[in-house]
Chains A and B, each alone.
Chain A
């Protein structure tokens, strides 16, 4: 199970500490950004799609590659300890497989699939416009 999420954690967390929020230079946006940094920028948008995150909590939602979407949530429990959960949505021919730590895998359907579909569409629209400066419908540059 750990291997499944290794790449996601690598993308999100360095040495166990959250990475600082990336801010783009107005003069040279994206000039030296790595794939990891682009994904982090996307995730900053993805995290806001589902409403505000409570203080002290953390959320990430991003597209890892064409076949995988990652959800990460971190919060402080009543025991005052940090808790986190990572969910990976994998695209398969049979459907969307939900892979969560410590839980059985299953193909999502109904409202859960609908919600993910809507989240992905919102993510696409925001990320294409705000990060890649593309029209989400046509892919053309936005002037």
Chain B
């Protein structure tokens, strides 16, 4: 899964999610989750599913992906740039609702008890 990024890492749980090229740190404390998430102005996700937990996260498009191209830049670079922009916009649209997988050594029941609601 080359375009999957780890967004949560705590002592016993790792969560991977795919949303373009952005990283979001999501901690276990719900208040910190929101605060941390809001620190990122370029979050490209709408929600996060972690086990049974679900969090709504303010989203915006990764605007820094728009580079300023000059006429001198090669046409190849231009094609690469615009292709990436389109692909990212498409992925963003598709990923606005997505699930993340949980990788942990904990039993599923214990994980569920640890689940949290980011929107709380």
Measured CA separation A34–B66 after assembly (Å) = 25
A96 touches B90 (CB 8 A): no
A-B interface contact total, Cβ < 8 Å:
80
A66 touches B62 (CB 8 A): no
- Total interface residues in chain B, CB < 8 Å: 22
B78 touches A121 (CB 8 A): yes
Main secondary structure of the interface of B (DSSP, over half): helix
Measured CA separation A121–B92 after assembly (Å) = 20
A134 touches B61 (CB 8 A): yes
Q: Tell me, yes or no, whether B84 is within 8 Å of chain A by CB.
A: yes
Q: Tell me, yes or no, whether B115 is within 8 Å of chain A by CB.
A: no
Measured CA separation A42–B92 after assembly (Å) = 15
A123 touches B85 (CB 8 A): no
B112 to chain A, nearest CB (A): 29
Q: Tell me, yes or no, whether A141 is within 8 Å of chain B by CB.
A: yes
Measured CA separation A52–B60 after assembly (Å) = 36
Main secondary structure of the interface of A (DSSP, over half): mixed
- Total interface residues in chain A, CB < 8 Å: 35
Q: Tell me, yes or no, whether A15 is within 8 Å of chain B by CB.
A: no
Measured CA separation A116–B83 after assembly (Å) = 12
A114 to chain B, nearest CB (A): 6
B86 touches A63 (CB 8 A): yes
Binding site for A on B (CB under 8 A): 60-63, 65-66, 75-76, 78-80, 82-87, 89-90, 92-94
Binding site for B on A (CB under 8 A): 30, 33-35, 38-39, 42, 63, 65-69, 89, 91, 95-96, 113-114, 116-117, 120-121, 123-124, 127-128, 132, 134, 136-141
Which 6 residue pairs across A and B have the least CB separation, nearest first? Answer: A117-B75, A124-B82, A132-B89, A139-B63, A66-B84, A139-B61
